[in-house]
Amino acid sequence: MKRILLIAGLILFCVAGFYGYQFYHKAFSVNTPSVLDNNILLIQEGAVLEDVIDSLVANGQILKEDHFRWTAGKMNYYDGTIRKGRYVIPAPASSKTLISLLRGGKQTPLGLTIQNVRTIEQMCGRVAARLEFDSIDLATYLNTRFDSVAGTRPETRLTRFIPNTYEFYWTVSPEDFCKRMLKEYDRFWTEEKKAKAVAVGLTPEEVYTLASIIEKETNYNPEKTRMAGVYLNRIRDSIPLQADPTIVFALGDFEIRRILYGHLDVVSPYNTYRNLGLPPGPIFMPGLPSINAVLDREVHDYLYFCARPTDDGPGHAFATTLPAHNENARRYQRWLDEQGIR
């Protein structure tokens, strides 16, 4: 009788050991490559377990599909518990670690850089390319709800988006994305910056709009405060800004390299040759150096500036009188002709 009990005990021990080993091996052994060419897994809304497994296999993110599938069953990771998101696959990691990550919805935020866009529509496309929502979803929110929340008009919506790199979860909604950007806008416009805007006679929206013109006039940061001073002097003296980048925006032809006299007749509120003051809104998303250049504008008597030939060095030629400016412009026009720029 003792021998029978001993044998039975040994059998049970072996069976338990076998299943214990199976559990340990399938759940705890390494099941992701130590080096991953693609360590990002995107799980869409409504995905089922087979979708997750198909993606993991297609991306080369698991070594043994059967181990993952077995562990998923043991950990109650199944259709209905799948959480959408953008996940960074750890390497190396066990099936248990990976499933814990996915089941818990432990997303890794991504860095989203918002800059160098000309229109709000272009921004929608750039942002949507990195996040789950579609550009149409974001545009719809902007067109139907954003203005009432942000206090903007269609022409000024872009002013609420301060260029920078921000962290977002891939699953952020259009509404939450916009609310976050409005918080960043409020954070940027400190009392000190608002006071500087008042000092130059502009609202924050107008600062952004003027900065957008400067952004397209020059990428040479050292002269931006001087250029801001020119435009502010012209606004003060009721002289049209005559900013070529606004003509490009009004025409909608962003490949134009040289503004001709015929271009200046375009009928548009963005034509700063025909209209006094600033255009209705920004013509580009300005960088922070351009925004700060307006707030810290240089005080001087210049009313004109003109691009100079590259042989003369970077930046623009500034002038206080029209005759001096015309001479600078003639030199630049001759240089353009010599270069064959039309």
Residue 147 lies in a domain: yes
Residue 310 lies in a domain: no
Residue 60, domain extent:
22-103
Residue 327 lies in a domain: no
Evaluate whether 320 touches 295 at the Cβ level (below 8 Å).
Answer: no
Q: Are residues 279 and 197 in the same domain?
A: yes
Q: Are residues 148 and 235 in the same domain?
A: no
Q: Are residues 82 and 147 in the same domain?
A: no
Q: Are residues 153 and 89 in the same domain?
A: no
Measured over the CA atoms of residue 98, residue 99, residue 104 and residue 105, the dihedral's sign is: positive
Last residue within a domain, chosen from 188, 204, 232: 188
Evaluate whether 322 touches 237 at the Cβ level (below 8 Å).
Answer: no
User: SS3 for 31?
Assistant: coil
User: Which residue matches tokens 């952020």?
Assistant: 172
Q: Are residues 49 and 125 in the same domain?
A: no
- Tokens encoding 315: 């930046």
What is the pTM assigned to this prediction? Answer: 0.88
Rounded CA separation 72/82 (Å): 11
Last residue within a domain, chosen from 58, 73, 103: 103
Q: Are residues 209 and 289 in the same domain?
A: yes
Q: Are residues 172 and 225 in the same domain?
A: no
Residue 163 lies in a domain: yes
Residue 215 lies in a domain: yes
Give the model's pLDDT for residue 103. Answer: 95
Count other C-beta atoms under 10 Å from residue 107's C-beta: 18
User: Which residue matches tokens 């800059």?
Assistant: 115
**Domain tally, the chain:** 3
Residue 313 lies in a domain: no
**C-alpha to C-alpha distances, 65 to 131, 162, 262, 319, nearest whole angstrom:** 28, 45, 67, 72
Q: Are residues 223 and 247 in the same domain?
A: yes
Q: Interhelix angle for 244-251 vs 204-217, to 10°?
A: 90
Last residue within a domain, chosen from 154, 188, 222: 188
Q: Where are the alpha helices (DSSP H) in 104-239?
A: 120-128, 135-141, 147-150, 174-188, 191-199, 204-217, 224-236
User: SS3 for 217?
Assistant: helix
Q: Are residues 235 and 273 in the same domain?
A: yes
Q: Are residues 213 and 281 in the same domain?
A: yes
Residue 37 lies in a domain: yes
User: Which residue matches tokens 């100079």?
Assistant: 308
Q: In a structure prediction context, what are the per-residue pLDDT tens digits for the chain, which is 342 residues long?
A: 555 545 545 555 444 444 555 666 799 999 999 999 999 999 999 999 999 999 999 999 999 999 999 999 999 999 999 999 999 999 899 999 999 999 999 999 999 999 999 999 999 999 999 999 999 999 999 999 999 999 999 999 999 999 999 999 999 999 999 999 999 999 999 999 999 999 999 999 999 999 999 999 999 999 999 999 999 999 999 999 999 999 999 999 888 888 888 999 999 999 999 999 999 999 999 999 999 999 999 999 999 999 888 777 789 999 999 999 999 999 988 888 888 776
Q: Are residues 79 and 99 in the same domain?
A: yes
Count other C-beta atoms under 10 Å from residue 274's C-beta: 16
Residue 341 lies in a domain: no
Q: Are residues 99 and 116 in the same domain?
A: no
